[in-house]
Structure 1
Amino acid sequence: MNKLLTTMFALAVACVTVSAQAQKVAGNAENGAKKVAMCVGCHGIIGYQASFPEVYKVPKIAGQSATYITAALTAYKGGDRKHPTMRAIADSLTEQDIADLSAYYSQLGLKEGDAPPASAAKAPSENVQALISRDKDNACTKCHGVNFNTPNDGTVPKLAGQNADFLFVALKAYKADTHPLTGRSNGVMGGVAKKYTNAELKDLSGYIASLPGEVKTVPESRIHRASGN
């Protein structure tokens, strides 16, 4: 019995150790630049539009935090985000690939002095302000920052300056969290998004998109030059 318990304990420690090591995969931006072939066709073209589940501009990912990009790709890979194209791409990536791509895009296009002011550069209308602060315990700015560019956690995205139509589609996806093709499963975001009508989410998305931020789309040709191709 003691031998069995000892073996079980050793296995448990080994599992924890492997998990901890997996979480410490370090990204290399230079290596990431060599792995963007599947990314640039959409995210490397300014104004590129996806057509599923509806027509919208794909998200700007250059300048987004590495920890958020990693979290997003991991969510696609694990099925919490169900967009078929992104799931297929994420499934083909190793943890190291994800770490490298995240490191690459997090610094792509960023320049000293690009960071927007710490407070919101544009005051929202009374209607939008009411939407932002509707749920005082889970107000949008509590996680994403008062300027929507300084998240309180690395797994939370920078939103300021993001494409409005993408923000709208993403927020609706949290409302439809169980949809097999378009849903996004996240307890916090699902709980928040479901408190708003689609019209309200569209107003929120428009305001957030109008704010200055660090996320951007870097044209494909610049990505090729950065990767040495």
Structure 2
Amino acid sequence: MNKFLSSLSVLVVAFATSFSVNAQEVKGDAKAGAGKNSMCIGCHGIKGYQASFPEIHKVPMISGQSAAYIAAALNGYKKGDRKHPTMRGIADSLSDQDIADLAAYYAASGVVEGAPELPAAAAGTTKAQELVAKGNCASCHGANFSKPIDPSYPKIAGQHSDYLFVALKSYKNVESAQVGRGNAIMGGIAKQFSNAELKELANYVGSLPSDLKTVPQSRFK
């Protein structure tokens, strides 16, 4: 294992341990979360909805993500580690209990009991395989990129590829007041790649079978 991957492994363990301790402090209630998602459904409750600011891309599918990841993302916006202005404004308005309740709600949203396991991820092009290996993506995002090694990490298989591309670029641009993301693990990984390579990686991962969904609210069906 080279020095970068060795350092990455240490960071992964430290970050996961830190988040797991914090996540145990507040318990989420999915039913309560269903009554608190009015600020979420206007974007995340419409299939194919496309954001136009600060970059154009489909908003991410969040139904089916783990509660720990959703909470981590919202807290990231609240703390300023993630710089998206709209999401920062929403997260700032949420209490720790609100975040826990919304996370519980979206983790359960669209989940079908007894659903079959996802099929194996296609290998992709030779170039895609090289990029995935270089980024060591499976070491955090797990089998099929849908079984993260820690619940505070996202499932990424099948996520909108244009969103994945914007997210990956954001880790290279941490100082940006509108799109930057501060994360030592992802920053170190993303900076190894050109934007063209990140786009190819995002297109591959976005093409894979997924647990993620957009579950429309009745008013948007």
TM over 0.5: yes
Once the two structures are TM-superposed, the CA of residue 171 in structure 1 deviates from its matched residue by: 0.3
Pairing of 1:89-168 with structure 2 (within 5 A): 89-111=90-112, 112-117=114-119, 120-135=120-135, 139-168=136-165
Matching residue's letter, 1:116 = L
Q: Unaligned 5+ residue runs, structure 2?
A: 1-20
Shift of 1:53: 2.2
Identity among equivalent pairs (%): 57
Distance 2:117 2:149 in 1: 16
1:1-229 alignment runs, 5 A limit: 23-111=24-112, 112-117=114-119, 120-135=120-135, 139-221=136-218
Equivalent pair of 2:81/2:183 in contact (CA under 8 Å): yes
The residue identity in structure 2 corresponding to 1:126 is: T
Q: Show structure 1 runs of 5+ residues with no match.
A: 1-19, 225-229
Instruction: Give secondary structure in 2 for the equivalent of 1:147.
Output: helix
CA distance in 2, matches of 1:42, 1:115: 28
Residues in 1 aligned to 2:61 and 2:155: alpha-carbon distance in whole angstroms = 10
Q: Which amino acid aligns with 2:57?
A: Y
TM-score calculated relative to the size of structure 1: 0.83
Q: Distance in 2 between matches of 1:128 and 1:64?
A: 24
Q: CA deviation at 1:121?
A: 2.5
Q: Is the 8 A contact 1:115 1:214 kept in 2?
A: no
Distance 1:183 1:26 in 2: 29
Rounded Cα–Cα distance in structure 2 between residues aligned with 1:144 and 1:164: 16
Deviation of residue 81 (structure 1)?
0.3
The alignment of Structure 1 onto Structure 2 pairs a total of residues equal to 200
* 8 Å Cα contact 1:115-1:213 kept in structure 2: no
Given the superposition, is the C-alpha separation of residues 42 and 223 from structure 1 closer, same or farther in structure 2, using an over 3 Å criterion?
same
Aligned 8 A contact 2:29 2:105 in 1: yes
Q: Secondary structure at the match of 2:144?
A: coil
TM-score (norm 2): 0.86
Alpha-carbon distance change, 222 to 145 in structure 1, aligned in 2, over 3 angstroms: farther
